[in-house]
Amino acid sequence: MAPLRIYFDRLLDAVAPKVPRRELTDEERLGLVRRHGDFSLAYSTAVQQKLSYFSDGDGYIAFGTKMSRHFALGDPVADPADRPAYIKRFVEVARDPWFVQIGADTAKVLAGLGYHVNRLGIDTRLHLPEHDFSGKRNETVRYSERWLARKGFVFAEGTGDMLLDEIKQLSVEWRKRRIIKRWEMGFLNRRFSIQPGADMRRFLLHSPEGRLVAILDFDPLFRDGKVFGYTTSFKRKQTDATPHAEVGLTKFAVDRFREEGISVVTLGLSPLLDIERSGFAESDFWRNTFRRAYDSPWVNRSRFNLQGQAAFKRRFHGVEEPTYIAFRKGTFVEMLGLLRLIKAV
């Protein structure tokens, strides 16, 4: 069945609107991210495999293609003043592409071009140093860190160069207990790397006996060539890890960033959380469908634990910023193409 599906995918991709693609090198993409990569997905657009790039060399829009439709990933990686022009040119040549997990500024431009703009979920943002885990509402977060320290767990930062085999095995075991075990989701996420990429940060938690218990990786956020923030990119933990492991390790990393003068940490997308009216022209059908999907026991049990992911991020009491999805038609076939692109079906 898989070869037949691949065959039909190739047929459909061949009739997709012809978009001029630029073969940017790894160094060129990362160079642009270091200048303009100020949003959560920026770094991932530069290092994720199997993406295409609409670019003039001074910036780019990353996109994927599935079932004859193009899907832009995130905002343009370009000077903020130039982003509206990139969006308009891409819309013209790609003939009504979708835009997925975009910010409010990109949504506003697309609304002006006749797009429907729906909320896709929430990105949780911790503004540092104001966010410091003090107060009663952060008591459970502080308790997780204290519990781990009291039991003899050890926090550390490093690439884990001496632990590559252990990191690989931890990731394999973690994959085995995912809802979907046969493959990792794509597009909105990228494949986990045993060694972190350039400018990424990795934090580790070890048991009292020295066993690797959990890993937490962060992608950098850039402005004018300087890192001003980080966003959570990967989490891995042992199947028998204490529930305190992920919470305590996240607090440890955020505290480290605050000490360094980092101004923001984002926890990434909570898909389909708080699907309210977007404030733009939108699809009532997809707004209601997203809400039902978030509330669906079947979706949370057999496809993706939307509610569990949202609940974890809300423990940190950050600022919840809406992210958006934009389209002109929003048909079932196009949505199926997106779901297949992110490997949700």
Q: Which domain holds residue 282?
A: 2-125+271-341
Beta bridge partners of 222: 227
Instruction: Indicate the residue among 237, 262, 287 that finishes a domain.
Output: 262
User: What pLDDT is attached to residue 303?
Assistant: 80
Query: What are the angstrom distances between the C-alpha of 141 and each of 93, 147, 239, 256?
Result: 48, 10, 21, 15
158 and 33 share a domain? no
98 and 188 share a domain? no
Gap between the Cα atoms of 41 and 74, Å rounded: 6
209 and 178 share a domain? yes
Domains: count for the chain: 2
136 and 258 share a domain? yes
87 and 142 share a domain? no
247 and 133 share a domain? yes
222 and 276 share a domain? no
Instruction: Indicate the residue among 221, 237, 262 that finishes a domain.
Output: 262
CATH number of the domain at 241, please.
Answer: 3.40.630.30
110 and 170 share a domain? no
User: What pLDDT is attached to residue 254?
Assistant: 98
User: What pLDDT is attached to residue 71?
Assistant: 97
Instruction: Indicate the residue among 241, 262, 283 that finishes a domain.
Output: 262
255 and 283 share a domain? no
210 and 102 share a domain? no
72 and 189 share a domain? no
Residues with Cβ within 8 Å of 43's Cβ and at least 6 positions away in sequence, in order, are 33, 37, 197, 199, 200, 219, 220, 221, 231, 233
User: What pLDDT is attached to residue 182?
Assistant: 55
- At 243 the three-state DSSP class reads coil
**264 phi and psi angles, rounded to 5 deg:** -155, 145
Q: Which of 183, 193, 198, 194 is nearest to 46 (CA)?
A: 198
Q: Which of 254, 273, 261 is nearest to 316 (CA)?
A: 254
User: What pLDDT is attached to residue 164?
Assistant: 86
Half-sphere exposure of 135 (CA within 13 A, CB side): 9
Per-residue pLDDT of the chain in tens (345 residues, 90 and over written 9) = 456 666 566 666 667 788 989 999 999 999 999 999 999 999 999 999 999 999 999 999 999 999 889 999 999 999 999 999 999 999 999 999 999 999 999 999 999 999 999 999 999 999 999 999 999 999 999 999 999 999 999 999 987 677 888 898 888 888 777 655 555 678 999 989 899 999 999 999 999 999 999 999 999 999 989 999 999 999 999 988 999 999 999 999 999 999 999 999 999 999 999 999 999 999 999 999 999 999 999 999 888 899 999 999 999 999 999 999 999 988 999 999 999 999 876
172 and 54 share a domain? no
User: What pLDDT is attached to residue 343?
Assistant: 81
- At 59 the three-state DSSP class reads coil
User: What pLDDT is attached to residue 6?
Assistant: 65
